[in-house]
Structure 1
């Protein structure tokens, strides 16, 4: 116990421990005991303005945490700026989540924020288990009263709690699962944290069909009933049912490690010959599965699709020369290459692809003479927008029909093109073999779902040219440094996507190695080869 404070405990209790705010000692009893204190506002009738003072922050946090610790949800809710929403959640902490004891230890205030740790005990039908976590609150000034109040957010109760969600403890609604990779190796969220949301989704969808039985758990029940529950604590394990996935434990481990290098990164690996998803990783690892559900401009990695379209239409070929000026104007919009570089007119399309020349692609738009051509190529060959059924919630990319400058921007992966790491890994997998195979995370046979099918494949000639151009990018082009450690038959494409209001471009990279394709995006990572490239290379080295 910090600072030598002593707390008398009577019955089932919540206790506030003296911490960095210099709190006194309280004897508190769940459902009774001393009240939670008062809001720290001026005693005068004058409504105070401006940021709360240090003393107001300390007193408000003190009053709120003391009331919460004593189990007095009503008093704690009064000390927030949203009493109607805070009250039910605070009440549910003991009544619905069945927390019978909690020791709350606040730390020193950092500006208006007060961090704290909670060491709780959850009890349900004779099953009891300790539960620990950390969170924080923020003190603000009430808009109408001028009083210092806790700015109510669901994360005050628990850092993973979202708007409209609630904490529950009881028998789980679905049976537990034991997910295994394609070789039968067990996959769990402790060892592979990025799989947490995915395993929750798989359990929600397939738990009752795998032969398992429910356990006793504490979980977050989201407001959106289409989303899975998030298990926070297991009091008693049920019998897990075995669920086969297409993942590869080695590739997944490498992906988890690789994305941790950056504050915002996602990567996916796909097996071109089957469409099997071998790895999915995100940093941060919990919450939104950006690798499969994100929607962002993919930058020059999109040139794989544009190149396929131009070659199919006979407007370019890997070994034919193509113009690459430093900049080009199209319908009032100016496009330029990185640092305004240009290439000799005798250089081939492969060189422009490997060096990521924007203008070489945009200069061809008039020759295409069809504003919808890129959208058709993305859909009909690469399967983009065909309602993929991967086994969990995923977004299958979007290339809307466009015209003018927007259409030109799409040629280089900007404008209205929206992709995620899964989409770009799949595009690379399609380019690798010439045929789209819809990515899957669990075998189709598990639920006999209908997979998306593209209307046509690339010819062997076009497929060969795309592979050769990607090989050039990996061996001497913009992907050389990132792919230098990858052995075998390898290819790549780099990309950097400009985002409005963001000082540094997002880093994109996609590549293949033998029968594995992978793609990654790093937020504000800059050039594709600098940040996303090493992430992809790490997964390709480890995958199978």
Structure 2
């Protein structure tokens, strides 16, 4: 403890005054009272789960040391003092936290929730800041001591490894985002846009004509802001026009809230303009743009294009659809082991796995069965290219790697190592609707002159064939997308999908188009595509 420290009680909370700056804690660490154990009387290290008393005492000591402005002492009470001590020091110094009172809640097992009520001060301006976090207590592997399990989220729930707290003049002015018609997009009305707008601000804020204010933010390991936590002085926001459509965005926000984990994206086929992006949870990771998940049978759109490209089958070609098929020592089945007869359009509408896997044999004869799907995805759909959307997406937008063995069969039905997200699959439907790939974008290209990804137009017969099959899936009596698309106006087309994931129900996928709008959604553990993701996409398409 620094010399001159004074102890008092404010509102039932102990306060330590050190160096003229007040930090609060709900109790005092045992260094003030001389500790609880004398040298020479220490017993052997304890083992086993931490006790309730140890959880309470360890949390008490750590929070009090943090509140007292003693980062080294607080760090020593964690299982990673080398990382924790400097992080706690940076919280106070870099974040400009001039006062803090920490109040603990009731422990649950080894977890202790707490509330931080702080004051942030910079250049003579102060503002209160309140948030909640939690810590966990574990037993030290070598010492047996109860210790706080260190993670950056202890200091703030949005902190990540390598990130730190900063207060000062913002690196970029705030932006007031508007949709493509000039309608304002306030974050309180469109919560899914918060991480998107934060990213747009860092990239385009200086171009939007605003003036930076004073803020507290999280600075990532790369030195770039990743989220504003507190605004001390607002500055002057600049206006930034996006391609979002406020009406479609509102429908997307509402639709994803039906499920604990869901994402949807909507794209205008004639231009590539992104008209909506929504996630639940709304804050944090942008699953719709950055997710990397197997897309299930929605991938059959690309597989069907591949089959037509290589002359394996066309929409009216008779195909086999047995209940199961074997390839490279692995058996693949249709849902419920159904079987049917008919043409490729019927197999597509019913989402017959085996009909599409059987395409391997003729493609193997051509020597392209392991590469044809990825080549087709890139050639006509822009999948695997880098899309300059305006905000971060995935390293490559969609991934259809070369496959081998049974993995090739799995890839033809959207499993294996194929990864997509809602934006990628919305673009696939948009490409079918328009007949050519137009790279999705959130900020017009002329704002910064960035280069867009390109792909070859779909040959006319293949585009027509894909539209025929997607229309059958959305409208025919056997179409798996018919019920979800029933109220969606035409011209329309769709494809359902479900993707198997270890240790949980299948992810629900759905993609489709109506008029000049295409959309795709994924619902984690949602099951069949028509059951969960289908209604999400339908509601978005109806909003146009």
Q: Same fold (TM over 0.5)?
A: yes
Report which stretch shifted further, 140-149 or 197-206.
197-206
Structure 2 partner of 1:381: 380
Equivalent residue for 1:251, pick from 248, 255, 266: 248
Q: 1:49 to 1:446 in 2, by over 3 A?
A: same
Q: 1:465 to 1:121 in 2, by over 3 A?
A: same
CA distance in 2, matches of 1:329, 1:294: 31
Structure 2 partner of 1:16: 25
CA distance in 1, matches of 2:204, 2:250: 24
Structure 1 partner of 2:6: none
Equivalent residue for 1:55, pick from 47, 53, 56: 53
Kept after mapping to 2: 8 A contact 1:39/1:63:
no
CA distance in 1, matches of 2:36, 2:503: 40
How far is 1:38 from its partner? Answer: 5.3
CA distance in 1, matches of 2:15, 2:148: 27
Say if 2:398 is the partner of 1:401: no
CA distance in 2, matches of 1:35, 1:179: 52
How far is 1:34 from its partner? Answer: 7.8
Structure 2 partner of 1:5: 12
Equivalent residue for 1:488, pick from 466, 487, 490: 490
Trace 1:179-328 onto structure 2 (pairs within 5 A): 179-225=177-223, 228-328=225-325
CA distance in 2, matches of 1:205, 1:228: 11
How far is 1:103 from its partner? Answer: 2.2
CA distance in 1, matches of 2:360, 2:304: 12
How far is 1:537 from its partner? Answer: 1.5
User: SS in structure 2 opposite 1:130?
Assistant: strand
Report which stretch shifted further, 154-163 or 74-83.
74-83
Structure 2 partner of 1:78: 76
CA distance in 2, matches of 1:338, 1:297: 17
Q: 1:150 to 1:360 in 2, by over 3 A?
A: same
Aligned residues: 525
How far is 1:40 from its partner? Answer: 9.3
Kept after mapping to 2: 8 A contact 1:41/1:56:
no
Trace 1:40-119 onto structure 2 (pairs within 5 A): 44-119=42-117
Equivalent residue for 1:498, pick from 497, 500, 508: 500
Cα distance per residue 1:380-421 (max 9 Å; x no partner): 100111221111111211111223322221111111211111
Kept after mapping to 1: 8 A contact 2:15/2:101:
no
CA distance in 2, matches of 1:68, 1:403: 54
Contiguous gaps of at least 5 residues in structure 2: 1-8
Kept after mapping to 1: 8 A contact 2:46/2:144:
yes
Structure 2 partner of 1:364: 359
CA distance in 1, matches of 2:135, 2:470: 50
Structure 1 partner of 2:5: none
User: SS in structure 2 opposite 1:418?
Assistant: coil
Report which stretch shifted further, 515-524 or 157-166.
515-524
CA distance in 2, matches of 1:384, 1:314: 22
Structure 1 partner of 2:146: 148
Q: 1:378 to 1:14 in 2, by over 3 A?
A: same
User: SS in structure 2 opposite 1:229?
Assistant: strand
Contiguous gaps of at least 5 residues in structure 1: 18-22
CA distance in 1, matches of 2:179, 2:214: 26
Q: 1:228 to 1:281 in 2, by over 3 A?
A: farther
CA distance in 2, matches of 1:138, 1:252: 38
Report which stretch shifted further, 92-101 or 254-263.
254-263
How far is 1:502 from its partner? Answer: 2.4
Cα distance per residue 1:267-308 (max 9 Å; x no partner): 111110000011112222222222111211111000001111
User: SS in structure 1 opposite 2:536?
Assistant: helix
How far is 1:331 from its partner? Answer: 2.9
Kept after mapping to 2: 8 A contact 1:194/1:286:
yes
Kept after mapping to 2: 8 A contact 1:36/1:66:
no
Q: 1:350 to 1:59 in 2, by over 3 A?
A: same
Cα distance per residue 1:188-234 (max 9 Å; x no partner): 43332222222121111111222211110000001134x54311111
How far is 1:8 from its partner? Answer: 6.6
Kept after mapping to 2: 8 A contact 1:73/1:87:
yes
CA distance in 2, matches of 1:433, 1:182: 20
Trace 1:420-499 onto structure 2 (pairs within 5 A): 420-454=421-455, 456-475=456-475, 476=477, 477-499=479-501
Q: 1:68 to 1:38 in 2, by over 3 A?
A: farther
User: SS in structure 2 opposite 1:96?
Assistant: helix
Structure 2 partner of 1:20: none
Equivalent residue for 1:349, pick from 344, 347, 355: 344
CA distance in 1, matches of 2:45, 2:429: 61
Q: 1:36 to 1:486 in 2, by over 3 A?
A: farther
- CA RMSD between the two structures: 2.3
How far is 1:314 from its partner? Answer: 3.2
